[in-house]
Amino acid sequence: MANAAADRRIVFLGKTGSGKSSLANTIFGVDRLFEVCHSSSSGTMFCKSETRGVQGRNVQLIDTPGLFDTDPNAPDFKKEILDCIIECASGVDAFLLVLKVEKFTKHENAVFEVFCQQFSEEALNYTTVVFTQGDQMEEGETIKEWIQDNEPLKTLVQKCGGRCHVFDNKYWKNNQDSYRNNQVQVKALLDTIDQTVEKNEGRCYTNENLRRVQEKLQEEKAIIRSDPKYANLSEPEVEQKAKENIFDYFWPIFQTFTNWVRALLGSFIWGGKGSKDD
């Protein structure tokens, strides 16, 4: 979990294999901070949060399991969803919906349908669509040009205020091109997020469930600070201890949900709206 205050809290969403973990590594300029899996099963089975300095900002990246397709009954998946909720309790500056530059199949369309059906208008104001595997585009083509021939994708990007960016985590690391360059794209993405924060008047995305977790987190931190046996804890350690304690508090409640993906998609991100189809 992150142990430093973040200027920007960014949550990655997308299906298995979309390149979320690789993108997180690219943004931080490292190779293996977020584990990348190349198998057909879900690579990120654990909610992972890290905070690093990036281009003058303290950025917290939260990599989630493949929420659109991971087996909700897989071991530890339910606990990771609760961990994700706790990490985001104080609000989210930006959601990144991660897709690959590839043929828009029925599987990608399912992500699109779930996203468009369930995201509230407010959450869309915080969302940017990020494409990976940009090397699949034609030479000289931009991502905004690439989506023009795909009506569902174009509609999705429009619903997100026209915000979209493209990376290639494998081939654009040292590319000197002014567009096909990951460093250029990181700056452009962070600038877009800054503009989104400004447009939202500095308000983070939250909802009733996140506020409830945040209130409990603040209560727990106050209890820990007043307890003599924790007098030597640093503020990051107090934060971490409080998160562990409220996990134990919410876990029995969380276990009463019968549909885990619906619990996350309906309560965490979309403020209470459930999916029409399982």
Query: Could you give the strand order of the β-sheet that contains 48-54, starting from the edge strand earlier in sequence?
Result: 48-54, 57-63, 8-13, 94-100, 127-132, 164-166
CATH, domain range 8-199: 3.40.50.300
- pTM here is 0.82
What's residue 275's pLDDT?
35
The pLDDT mean for the chain works out to: 80
Domain ranges of the chain: 8-199, 208-269
Q: What are the b/e assignments for 226-237, b being 16+ CB within 10 Å?
A: eeeeeeeeeeee
How far is residue 30's CA from residue 2's CA, in Å, rounded to a whole number? 16
- Find out whether 6 and 54 touch, Cβ atoms under 8 Å: no
Number of H helices, E strands in the chain: 10, 6
What's residue 46's pLDDT?
66
31 pLDDT above the threshold of 60: yes
263 pLDDT above the threshold of 60: no
Inter-CA distances, 199 with 119, 168, 193, 203, 204, Å: 19, 28, 10, 9, 11
Per-residue pLDDT of 163-209, as tens digits, reads 999 999 888 987 788 899 999 999 999 999 999 999 999 999 988 87
Per-residue pLDDT of 47-103, as tens digits, reads 788 999 998 889 999 987 765 554 555 556 667 778 888 888 889 999 999 998 987
Neighbours of 195 (CB within 10 A): 12
One-letter amino acid for residue 52 of the chain: R
Positive or negative torsion for Cα 145, 98, 85, 92? negative
Highest mean pLDDT among 18-32, 118-132, 166-180, 209-223: 209-223
Helix/strand/coil for 193: helix
What's residue 45's pLDDT?
52
What's residue 277's pLDDT?
32
18 pLDDT above the threshold of 50: yes
